[in-house]
Chains A and B, each alone.
Chain A
Amino acid sequence: MEQKNDIYYIEKVKNGQTNQFSYIVEKYQDIVFSIALKVLRNREDAEEMAQESFIKAYKSLHTFKGTAKFSTWLYRITYNNCISEIRKKKQYFVSTDDIEIKDDSEEFDLDGIPAENRAKYIQAALDKLNGEEYTLVLLYYFENQSINEICKATKLSASNAKVKLHRARKKLYTILNEMLKEELYTIL
Chain B
Amino acid sequence: MNDLKDIKLKTLLSEMKLETPKSDFSVQVMNKIFEENYELEKIKSARILGNGFWVFVLLFIVLFMVFYVISNIGSGAESDFAKILPEIKTSGFSNAYQSFFEKLGTGPLSIAGILLASSLLLFIEQFFSSRSKIVL
Residues of A within 8 A of B8 (CB): 110-111
Does B19 contact A37, Cβ atoms closer than 8 Å? yes
Stretch at the interface among A22-30, A77-85, A146-154: A22-30
Does B29 contact A33, Cβ atoms closer than 8 Å? no
Stretch at the interface among B33-41, B88-96, B113-121: B33-41
Does A33 contact B14, Cβ atoms closer than 8 Å? no
Contact with B along A54-91 (1 / 0, CB 8 A): 11001100000000000000000000000000000000
Closest approach, in angstroms, between the C-beta of A31 and any C-beta of chain B?
6
B21 within 8 A of A: yes
Does B25 contact A29, Cβ atoms closer than 8 Å? yes
Interface residues contributed by chain B, number (CB under 8 Å): 27
Dominant SS among interface residues on chain A: helix
Q: How large is the interface on A (under 10, 10 to 19, 20 to 34, 35 or more residues)?
A: 35 or more
Q: Please give the residue numbers on chain B whose beta carbons come within 8 Å of chain A beta carbons, in ascending order.
A: 2, 5, 8-10, 12-22, 25-26, 28-30, 32-34, 36-37, 136
Q: Please give the residue numbers on chain A whose beta carbons come within 8 Å of chain B beta carbons, in ascending order.
A: 18-19, 21-22, 25-26, 29-31, 33-34, 37, 46-47, 50-51, 54-55, 58-59, 106, 110-111, 113, 118-119, 122-123, 126, 137-138, 141-142, 144, 169, 172
CB-CB nearest 10 A-B residue pairs: A141-B13, A30-B18, A25-B26, A33-B21, A34-B19, A34-B18, A110-B8, A54-B29, A141-B10, A25-B29
Question: What are 9 A-B pairs with beta-carbon distances under 8 A?
Answer: A19-B30, A21-B33, A29-B21, A29-B25, A30-B18, A58-B33, A106-B2, A122-B12, A123-B16
